[in-house]
A and B are shown apart, each in its own frame.
Chain A
Amino acid sequence: MTLDQLPIDQKARIVAIDWARLVPEEARRLRALGLDAGALISVSRRGIFGGRDPIAIAIGRMVVAVRRVHAVAIEVEQFHNTASEATPA
């Protein structure tokens, strides 16, 4: 599934990011914030007034705001092992 569909507070791992769908500067900024294949993330808040934009992502000890247009380019898989935090692949 893509990040925009991930349930709130569900841990997930980024499988792949479709960089071609993003503006180069935004792609670089996402990568600089650690949003890259292998990263462990969860969605802490999404949208206001019932909308689906923007999205607050918890990554490591940071919270990063992105828009749905970015989230749809981020492929994630749900991650159920809560005992340990794996290193990025």
Chain B
Amino acid sequence: MSRPRKIALVGNPNAGKSALFNALTGARQKIANYPGVTVERKSGRLVLPTGEPVELTDLPGAYGLDATSPDEEVTAKVLRGGFAGEAEPDVIVVVLDASNLEQHLVFAQELLALGKPTVIALNMVDLAERDGLVLDPAVLEEELGVRVVPTVAVRRRGLADLGEAMASAETRTPRLGVSEIGETERRVAAHAMAAAAILSETRQRRMHAQLDKVLLHPWLGPVIMMAIFFVMFQAVFAWATPFADGLDAAASWLHDTVKATMPAGLLRDLITDGVIAGVGAVIVFLPQIVILFAFILALEASGYMARAAFLMDRLMALVGLSGRSFIPLLSSFACAIPGIMATRSITDPKDRLTTILIAPMMTCSARMPVYAVIIAAFIPARGVGWGIGLQGLVLFCLFLAGIVGAIVVALVLRSSVTKGAASGFIMELPKYQMPRLKDMAIGLWQRAWIFLRRAGTIIFTVTVVLWVLLNFPQAKPGESQVDASIAGHVANGLAVVVKPIGFNRDMALALIPAMAAREVAVSSLATTYSVDASDDEDQQAADLGTRLRSHWTLPMALAFLAWFVFAPQCMSTIAVTRRETNGWKWPIFMLAYLFGLAYLAAGLTYWLAVWAGL
């Protein structure tokens, strides 16, 4: 049995390739990485009008076969059949932006010169018409020698014609297939062809030029950007609350139900206190991640994200980065994992590495439970003037400490570990477009699924392992389970290390399970302090503040907060860093320098607070 034929979509970035891919394959997509590199491989099944099933792949956008980024390298290698483990495509579909032909035809000619059966999708003809541009595909067919099909991916226009053209692509030979011409000649030819294909062109002022005048305004632009991101963060924290509470309630209900129905014993405790409590603690962040991604996907699809990168470039340049690093760092305020994944769009490898290494310092949502509990317990809820509360001020300082830390570290890294020529900033600012609901839904589903799969694998495993460490060996009568357990012994050892920065053994114990995820520190403290108190579980949360105050001093609490500004206590971040940097070198470096910073910050905070008599 022969494998299905392989058809590849290829084209310049911003040609509407992904929208066309979504329209052709719908939700029947597989997303993976190309082996050995961190470039996303998207493929899906498509049935041609002839009834033939084919495999459609969406190759990363490229400006030419002469690669300048990891994405472009993959595209060039796959098209030339030089990518190990990846079959060479049988047919290629070149996707062109109809309103940017003189640019996109340059790469198209390079692709036609490969001599493969080729079809051209003249995409986004509706946007071209909106700009007053009417094109004649027949002229392009005549010039290029292959089928040219006008399409509007988002409205499913021309898809049947495109499928039919794919099925019969072998019958045509690209006209430019034999000529060995250089880039300058191709550019001249592209310009001539684009001019010939234009039937009429009205000189109306284009919408995006006017929008850019406002959104990229030297003073107004940054103000609008701040307003947009302010709304975004408000939404992430405010809109997610009811959903997060719902998920939390569902997890408690499941916890209580299992506890009530299963016979008491180790297995029941493993399922309730280990699996449900641990995985549940992470799942509650799903609503925040979905809302954040809804904003990010909409801002990206509309073309605004590239403008935000433009506005932030000057600031990022001060620490040796470029505007491209801004989007990943912004995402990291919700969660470092999508942030680190978003660094793929950074072309300069040293820029990208620096961004990955500083992303965990952005205050993510997992730190909020820790900050909230400690601040509520130790910082009095009084004002400091001008309507500013002391508690809010402390929280703001913690956010700020992370940002300042990231700036300093970026500066140090750029002049040492990731030293190199000052990175440039060259970026196409795509046309403004209305985001499409279907593309957004597919994107959101993919992000949510990646998150859930991780919760079901890594976090599940770590939770179970930690539960075992906390419960074995079993305590003898009269002895505390925590003291008897392996984790208890480890905590005793760790307590010696963290004693100089003011931490007691209970704090050391909380740090161990928090290696999986920072917010676990809260539930761990609650468990530890409920051992010598009553067994009433409902009292735990309410009384945690009181118990913390009776066991900790203020300098200890402040040191604990300072620790969590820097400590890389998140398995998923380490795992995603390993994947994105292809090895253990950089995640280990990240762990070492962030733990070092956390130790310094906590120690400094503790001794300064003690010295100040707090």
Contact = CB atoms under 8 A, between A and B. Distances in A.
Interface string B416-441: 00000110111111010000000000
A54 B314 contact: yes
Given A48-B311, A54-B310, A56-B216, A33 B429 contact: no
B209 A58 contact: yes
A88 B208 CA distance: 25
Nearest to A22: B424
B426 A26 contact: yes
Contacts of B106: 32, 34
B100 interface: yes
A66 B66 CA distance: 20
A66 B425 contact: yes
A34 B323 contact: no
B99 interface: yes
Interface string A55-89: 01011111111110110000000000000000110
A56 B424 contact: no
Contact of A23 (B107, B212, B424, B429): B424
Interface string B219-247: 10110000000000000000000000000
B190 to A, nearest CB: 9
B425 A63 contact: no
B263 to A, nearest CB: 65
Nearest to A56: B216
Contact of B317 (A26, A30, A53, A60): A53
B426 A30 contact: yes
Interface residues of A, number: 36
B217 A45 contact: yes
A64 B100 contact: no
Interface residues of B, number: 47
B421 A23 contact: yes
Contacts of A32: 63-64, 66, 68, 106-107
A30 B347 CA distance: 13
Interface stretch (B31-39, B180-188, B288-296, B592-600): B180-188
Nearest to A50: B218
Contacts of B504: none
A65 B216 CA distance: 11
A18 to B, nearest CB: 15
Interface in B34-86: 63-64, 66, 68
Contact of A33 (B209, B310, B426): B426
A67 B192 CA distance: 30
21 contacts: A23-B421, A28-B66, A29-B347, A29-B426, A34-B106, A48-B311, A49-B222, A54-B323, A56-B212, A56-B216, A56-B429, A61-B99, A61-B103, A61-B131, A64-B426, A64-B428, A65-B309, A65-B323, A66-B424, A67-B313, A88-B187
List of 10 A-B pairs having minimum Cβ-Cβ separation, nearest first = A32-B63, A45-B216, A63-B429, A65-B427, A54-B313, A25-B68, A26-B424, A61-B100, A48-B218, A65-B310
Interface of A: 23, 25-26, 28-34, 36, 44-51, 53-54, 56, 58-67, 69-70, 87-88
Interface of B: 63-64, 66, 68, 99-100, 102-103, 106-107, 131, 183-184, 187-188, 191-192, 195, 206, 208-209, 212-213, 216-219, 221-222, 306, 309-311, 313-314, 317, 323, 347, 421-422, 424-429, 431
